[in-house]
Amino acid sequence: MPAKNEEYARSVPLLNMVFALCSLGLLLGTLWMVWDDYYRSWRPVQRQFQALTAKHTEEALRQAEQAVNQEELKKIQEELQAVETRSKEKRKQLDELNEKRKRNTVRVYITDTNFKNTKSVFDAVRFAYEELAHQHSPRAAKKLEELHEVQKKLTEYKLANDQALTEQAEIKKQTEALVGDRAGLDMKRQDLLAAVDRLQKKLDAVAPKGLVMRAFEHVRNAPLLDFMAPDLKVQQVVLDNQNKDINFVTIPRVDRCQTCHLGADQAGYENDPQPFTTHPQQEIYLASKSPHPVDKVGCTVCHRGLDRATDFLDAAHWPDSPEQQAQWVKSHDWHPKEHETSPMLPSRFIESSCLPCHQGVVHIPDAKKWNHGKDLVERVGCYGCHKMKGFEGLRKAGPPLTRLTWKTDPQWAYPWIENPPAFRPATWMPRFFGLSNNSSPADVARTQQEIRGMVTYLFEKTEPGGFPKLPGTGDPPRGEKLVTSVGCLGCHAVARLEKSPPSLRRRFGPNLDGIGSKAKPEWIYAWVKDPKAYFPETRMPNMRLTDREALDITAYLETLKAPEGWKPGIAEADPKLQDELVKDQMRARMMEEEVEAKMASMSEHEKELYLGQRMITRYGCFGCHLIQGFETTPPIGTELSEEGSKEVDRLDFGFVHIPETRQDWITEKLKNPRIFDEGKVKSPDEKLKMPLFNLTPEEREAVVTVILSMVKEKPQMASTYLLDSRHKALEAGRRLVQEHNCQGCHLLDGEGQDIRVTIARQLMEEGLGEEEADSRAVAFSPPYITGEGARVRSDWLFRFLKDPTPIRPWLSVRMPTFGFTDEENNTLLKYFTALSQSDFPFETPPVQPFPPAEIAAGKKLTSTDYFNCFSCHQQGARKPEGDPSGWAPDLALARSRLRPAWIEDWIKDPQKLYPGTKMPSYFDPGSFETSGPDDVLGGDENKQIQAMRDYLLTLGSDRSGS
C-alpha cells in the first residue's frame, strides 16, 4: 500500500511556522545572551572615565599651551626659518655637500659590508685554527697564517670604515656650518612643545576625532569583536606577594578594582566623584614611589572585598555610613552580598588592615585611629579578660586589691563597685551593675547581695597591716600649688583644674577626683612619698617629695571629695536571698544533698564570703586587679586574637536588628555590652556579663578598629614590614616610653608634652594672656627630648635616668625617679641614640688639651663683652643673678653631659633643635657667615663656635655631672 506510506502525520507548513518561530526565538535568545555576556557594569563606567579624562586633558592642554614660552618658540621658529632661507640662498654649496654625502653613504655602506663580511670570515677561520691547534694538526700553522692574513684585511677594512664615518661627520659639520643645525633646532622645538604634544596625544586617545576614528572606537569595543585592541577592558594587578587565604590553600590576589577605580593611582582626580577619585595620600599609598605601590600591594589586601570582582555588588562594597548606604541603595540597588566571607571594610575602620603587615610596633605610622585604639585597649585593660595577641605580659590594668584595708573601707567600696562613674565620672573602671539586663527589681536585689559578697571577700582577703598616722598637718593651698607644678598633672587629671577634657596621656594615672572620699590620708601620704612601697609594680614614679611637701599634697587631695549626692554605705543584708544565691551557685557544682549539707555547715559570714568568691569569679575582677586567691585564674573573656577573622555567624545577634557584620556587632557590644540579652529568658548565671566601659563614640570606633585588626590571615614575609636592628631598638624603647608615659611630660618622637596645657593654664592664672602663656609654656614645660640621643652622652644619661638631678633650675616640674632597672635603662639609651641616629654608647671626646689661644677666645666669647652666657647659665656653684626662673642649665655639666658635636649645633641654631627655647640665637642661620663678631678668631663663625665648645668642655671637673 504505497499510498499509505506517503502519509504525513503532521502538517508540514505548520511545522515550518513553528520552526520559524522557534528559530526566531533562538536567534533573539542567542543575541540576548551575547549582549548579556558583553554588557558588564564596568563598561559604562570606563566610558564615563574617558569623558572625564578628556575633560581634564582638554583643560590641561589649554594650560600647557598657555605655559609654552612663546618668545622662545618664536625664536626657534625664526631660526628655523633662517635655516630655510639660508639653504635656499646657498643652494649651490648645499647641493655639492649633498652630492658628497650621497657618495659618502655608498662608501660607508661598502666599507661596513666589507668589514662585516671579513669579520665573519675571520671568526670562521679563527674557529678552524683553534680546532686544528687543539688537535695538534700539522695544518694548524698554515691556518694561523691565513688567520693573520684575514686579520690584516680586517684591520684595513676597519680603518676604511672609520675614515668613511669620519668623513660623514665632517660633511654633517660642514652642512651645519653652512646653513645651521636644523636637527638641533627641531629637537629644541620638540622639547618646548613636549607637554603639549603629550597631552594632545592623550586627548586623541580618550576622545578620538573624526568619523573614522570615532567609528573605530565603537567597533574595537563591540560585542564579539572586542578581543582586538579594545580600549575598554578589565584592569588588573596580579599580586604574587599578597596571598588570599581560601581555606588551607593560598592564591595570589588578582585585584581588578582599577577596572572602575581608574583614577585611583593618578593625580588629578582628587575632586571627581567615586569611583574615579584619586586615592588620598598618594605619598603613602598606590603611587609607585610610596611604600604601598599599587602593583605590589594592590587594593583588597587592605580594603578587603572580592579581589576578582568587576561589579559593584559582586565586589562586596560596604557603606561607611547610613547616608552612604541610602545613596548606594539608590544608585546601585545595594544590599549585603551573600556568601562573601570578606566584605569590604567600611572606610572608618580601614586602619585595622595595617596590623597584619606592621607587626611588633608600638604605634603604626600614620594610623592615628588604630594607635589611639591601641592606647585605649591598654588603658581600659581589655586584655585582662580577653586574651589578645600583642598584649601579652602587660601589667594588670587596675590597682592590686591585696592591701585594700590599708587604703580604704567597705563603705566606699560597695557603692564604687555598684556604680563607679557615679563616684568618679571619668574613671576607667567599667560598670557591671544597673545595666540593661540586670536592672529589674529582682536583679537589683540579687546584685546587691552579690556586691556585698564581693566587698566582704575583698576586705577579708587582705594583707594585715597599714600605714602610721600622719606626722603633721599640711596646707591645702600649698598642696594644690605642688600638684599643679611638680608634674602630677602629666599623668593625672583633676576635674576642677581642667578647662577642656584631658588628653589620653593625662588619663594615664587615675583621675584624682573624689580621692579624699576614697583613700585614707595615711595611705595618700605614704603613697605619694614612695609608691613602690605599697605596690612594687606600680608605674607611679617617686617624685622625691619632702615630708612637708607630701603632707601638703595629702592635705590638698583630702579636699577632693566625692560629687554631691554620692553616699558611702552598704546595702542591707538579706540572708534569705543570699542563701538562695549561694545555693544556686552550689547546685551548679554539686548534688542537692551535698548542697544542703554544706549550707548547714556554713555561717552567714562564710556564705557571704563564698558568694563573693563566686561573683569575683563570674565577673572576672581579677582580670584587672590582683586579688588573693585569684592569682593564677585564667581570664574569663573570649579570646580576641583572631576576632577580626571570626565568622560572622558565630556572633550571636540575638533579637537585635543591626547589620550583620563584625564591626557592627562589636560596636554595639561596646555601646551596650548586655544588649544581645534583649528579649531572652536567661538565668542569672547565663546572662552576659561584660561591663560597660566609659568610652566616647570616637574612642569606641578606635577600639573596634584595633579588635578588627586582629586577624587570622598571615601575610607573606615579602609583604610585611620587617624591623631592622635600629627599628627594633626604637620599638623596645617606645614600649617603655609608653609604659611610663614619658610623653605625658616630654615631647618625644613627635608627640606628647600633654602637661603643657596645665602649665599654660598656670601661667594664665599668674596673669599672662592666653597666647603668651601658650608660647611661654614651652620654656616652662619639661624639655623636648626627641634629640636626646644626639644631645647627651650615654654614660651621663644612664646615670641621670637612675637618679635624676635638676638640670634646668627654672623648671618647677620635676623629673621623677622611675627606678628603671639597668636593662630598661639600656633599652632607653639605645632608643634615644637610635632615634637621633647617633652612636651608641660611647664616642671619642675631642682631643685635649685644647690650644690655649682657642680656650681664651672661647672664654672671651662667653664673657659679658660678647654673648654673656653666664648671665643665665649657672656654672657650678656660680649662680646667675635674678630669679631662678630666668636661669639656664649648668654649663659646668656640659663636659660630662653633652656631646661635643651637639654643643656646636646648639650654639649655631638653638631654635632649629628646640623650637621655642629660651636660648637666644647668636648666629643668624640666614646669614651665618656674617652674623658673628668680627674681631675674634678672624671673624670665622665656625671657629668661634668651636672655641666656645672647647671652652665649655674645660669647665667643671670630670665627674661633676653625677
Partner 1 sequence: MPDDPKASAARSPAPAAPAAGEGVTRRGFFSWIGVAWISFSGAMGVASVSTLRFFFPNVLFEPPQTFNAGFPEEYIPGQVDNRFKESFGVFMVRDDSSIYAIKAVCTHLGCTPNWLEAEFKFKCPCHGSGFYITGINFEGPAPRPLERYRIVLADDGQIVVDKTKIYREEKGEWKDPEAFIAA
Partner 2 sequence: MQWFKSAVDWLCNPPILFTLIFIVFFLAYLWKKLTWLWTPRACVVIFLAGGLFVAYGLTDPNFRAIVTKPDNVPIVGMLFLTGFFSWLSMYLGTRNDARIGKNLPPEEKLESEIKILVWPDLVYTEFLCMILWSVLLIIWSIYLKAPIEEPANPAKTPNPSKAPWYFLGLQEMLVYYDPWIAGVLLPGLIIVGLMALPYIDPNKKGNGYYTFAERKWEILTFQFGYLVLWVMMIITGTFFRGPNQNFFGPFERWDVHKVVPLSNINLSEVFWVKMLNLGLPGNWLVREGLGIILVLAYFTVIPMFLGRTLFKRFFEKMGMVRFQILMFLLLCMVSLPIKMYLRWLFNMHYVVAIPEYFFNI
Partner 3 sequence: MADAPRKSLFTQFRESQIWNSIFRHGPPDNTRNRSLAVLTNVFLHLHPVKVRKSGLRLKYTWCAGGTTFFLFLVETVTGLLLMFYYRPTAEYAFSDILDLRAQVPLGIMREIHRWGAHAMVIAVWLHMLRVFMTGSYKPPREFNWNIGVLLLVLTLLLSFTGYLLPWDQLAMWAVTVGSNMARATPFLGNEGPGAALLKVGDISLVTAGDDARFALLAGRFVGAAALLRFYVLHCVGIPLVAAVLMAVHFWRVRKDGGISGPL
Which residues contribute to the site for partner 3 (CB under 8 A)? Answer: 2, 5-6, 9, 33-34, 36-37, 40, 227, 234, 246, 248-251, 254, 306, 308-311, 314, 339
Nearer to partner 1, 100 or 233 (CB): 233
Name the amino acid, one letter, at 84.
Answer: E
- Among the listed ranges 8-16, 132-140, 480-488, 857-865, the one in contact with partner 1 (CB under 8 A) is 8-16
Q: Is 343 or 346 the residue whose CB approaches partner 3 more closely?
A: 343
Q: Which helix (H) or strand (E) holds 295?
A: helix 294-297
Closer Cβ to partner 2, 109 or 655, answer by number? 655
The burial class, CB within 10 Å (0-12 / 13-18 / 19+), for 820 is: middle
Q: Of the two residues 190 and 821, which places its CB atom closer to partner 1 in the complex?
A: 190
Q: How far is the CB of 226 from partner 2 (least distance, A)?
A: 19
- Please, what is the minimum distance in Å from the beta carbon of residue 11 to partner 1? 5
- Minimum distance between the CB of residue 314 and partner 3, rounded to whole angstroms? 7
In the complex, least distance from residue 18 CB atom to partner 1, rounded to whole angstroms: 9
For the CB of residue 375, give the shortest distance to partner 1 in the complex, in Å: 37
Cα 107 to its chain centre, rounded Å, is 68
Largest CA distance in the chain: 144
Q: Are 451 and 571 in contact (CB under 8 A)?
A: yes
Nearer to partner 2, 26 or 229 (CB): 26
CB of 33 to partner 2, least distance (A): 5
Among 238, 326, 588, 597, binds partner 1 (CB under 8 A): 238
Q: Which of 48, 87, 174, 236 binds partner 1 (CB under 8 A)?
A: 236
Binding residues (CB under 8 A) for partner 2: these are 4-5, 7-10, 12, 15, 18-19, 22-23, 25-26, 29-30, 32-33, 36, 246-248, 338-341, 647, 649, 652
Residue 105 within binding range of partner 1, rule CB under 8 A: no
| CA 582/CA 577 separation, integer angstroms | 9
Distances (CA, A) of 24 to 11, 29, 185, 384: 20, 8, 66, 72
CB of 47 to partner 1, least distance (A): 17
Of 246 and 877, nearer to partner 3 (C-beta) is 246
Choose the contact partner of 311 out of partner 2, partner 3, partner 1, none; CB within 5 to 8 A by kind.
partner 3
233 makes contact, choosing from partner 1, partner 2, partner 3, none, with CB < 5 to 8 Å by partner type, with: partner 1
Residue 190 touches partner 1, criterion: CB under 8 A: yes
Question: From the list partner 3, partner 2, partner 1, none, which binds 287 (C-beta under 5 to 8 Å, kind-based)?
Answer: partner 1
Helix axes 194-206, 42-67, angle to 10 degrees: 160
Identify what 32 binds: partner 1, partner 3, partner 2, none; CB under 5 to 8 Å per kind: partner 2
Give the binding range for partner 1 (CB under 8 A) out of 116-124, 299-307, 334-342, 527-535: 116-124
Spatial contact of 377 and 391, defined as CB atoms under 8 Å apart: yes
Q: Which residues contact 400 (CB under 8 A, 6 or more apart)?
A: 535, 537, 625, 626, 627
Q: Which stretch binds partner 1 (CB under 8 A): 5-13, 538-546, 547-555, 612-620?
A: 5-13
- Tell which phi-psi region holds residue 692, choosing left (phi > 0), alpha (psi between -120 and 50) or beta: beta
Beta bridge partners of 254: 238
CB under 5 to 8 A by kind: which of partner 1, partner 2, partner 3, none does 306 bind?
A: partner 3
Is residue 685 a contact partner of residue 353, using CB atoms and an 8 Å limit? no
- In DSSP terms, 237 is beta-bridged to 255
Cell representation of residue 640: 580576641
Residue with cell 557544682: 589
Q: What is the CA radius of gyration of the chain?
A: 42
State how far the Cα of 394 lies from the Cα of 624, in Å rounded to an integer.
Answer: 11
Residues 253-282 interacting with partner 1 (rule: CB under 8 A) = 254, 256, 266-268
- CA–chain centroid gap for 748, Å, is 16
- Name the nearest CA neighbour of 361 among 823, 751, 748, 733: 733
Nearer to partner 1, 31 or 442 (CB): 31
Stretch that binds partner 1, among 16-24, 145-153, 756-764, 771-779 (CB under 8 A): 16-24
CB 180 within 8 A of CB 83: yes
Which of partner 1, partner 3, partner 2, none sits in contact with 13, Cβ below 5 to 8 A by type?
A: partner 1
Helix (H) or strand (E) holding 238: strand 237-245
3-state secondary structure 85-152: HHHHHCHHHHHHHHHHHHHHHHHHHHHHHHHHHHHHHHHHHHHHHHHHHHCCCCCHHHHHHHHHHHHH
Note whether 188 binds partner 1 by CB under 8 A: no
Separation of alpha carbons 948 and 946, rounded Å:
5
d(CA 690, CA 637): 8
Comparison of 219 and 251: residue with beta carbon closer to partner 3: 251
286 binds, options partner 1, partner 2, partner 3, none, Cβ within 5 to 8 A by partner type:
none
Instruction: Say if residue 237 is exposed, middle or buried (CB neighbours under 10 Å; 0-12, 13-18, 19+).
Output: buried
In the block, cell 682631643 appears at: 847
Give the residue with the Cβ less far from partner 3, 386 or 646.
Answer: 646
Binding at 647: pick from partner 3, partner 2, partner 1, none (beta carbon under 5-8 Å per type) = partner 2
Q: By rule CB under 8 A, what count of residues binds partner 1? A: 46
Instruction: Answer yes or no whether residue 655 interacts with partner 1 by CB under 8 A.
Output: no
Given a contact cutoff of 8 angstroms between Cβ atoms, the answer to whether 862 and 814 are in contact is no
Contact present, 801 and 828 (Cβ < 8 Å): yes
CB of 46 to partner 3, least distance (A): 15
The item of partner 1, partner 3, partner 2, none sharing an interface with residue 649, based on CB under 5 to 8 Å by kind, is partner 2
Kindly state the smallest distance separating residue 251's Cβ from partner 3, in Å: 5
Q: Which is nearer to partner 3, 339 or 469 (CB)?
A: 339
Q: Is the peptide bond before 425 cis (omega within 30 degrees of 0)?
A: no
Nearer to partner 1, 236 or 720 (CB): 236
Q: What is the DSSP string of 191-255?
A: HHTHHHHHHHHHHHHHS--SHHHHHHHHHHTSTTTTTSS-SS----EEEEEEEEE-SS-EEEEEE
Closest to partner 2 by CB, 33 vs 238, is: 33
> Given the complex with partner 2, which of 345 and 367 has the nearer CB atom?
345
C-beta of 67 vs 82, nearer to partner 1: 67
User: Nearer Cβ to partner 3, position 40 or 478?
Assistant: 40
Residue with cell 580604704: 408
Residues 6 or more apart whose CB falls under 8 angstroms from that of 160 comprise: 111, 114, 115
- Provide the phi-psi class of 81: left if phi over 0, else alpha when psi is between -120 and 50, else beta: alpha
Q: Residues 6 or more apart from 812 whose CB is under 8 A from it?
A: 485, 486, 780
Among 123, 547, 843, 934, binds partner 1 (CB under 8 A): 123
Q: Least distance (Å) from partner 3 to the CB of residue 9?
A: 5
Pattern 26-45, binding to partner 1, x per CB under 8 A?
xx-xxx-xx--x--------
Residues contributing to the site for partner 1 (CB under 8 A): 3, 6-13, 16-17, 19-20, 22-24, 26-27, 29-31, 33-34, 37, 119-120, 123, 187, 190-191, 198, 224, 227, 233-234, 236, 238, 254, 256, 266-268, 287-289, 295
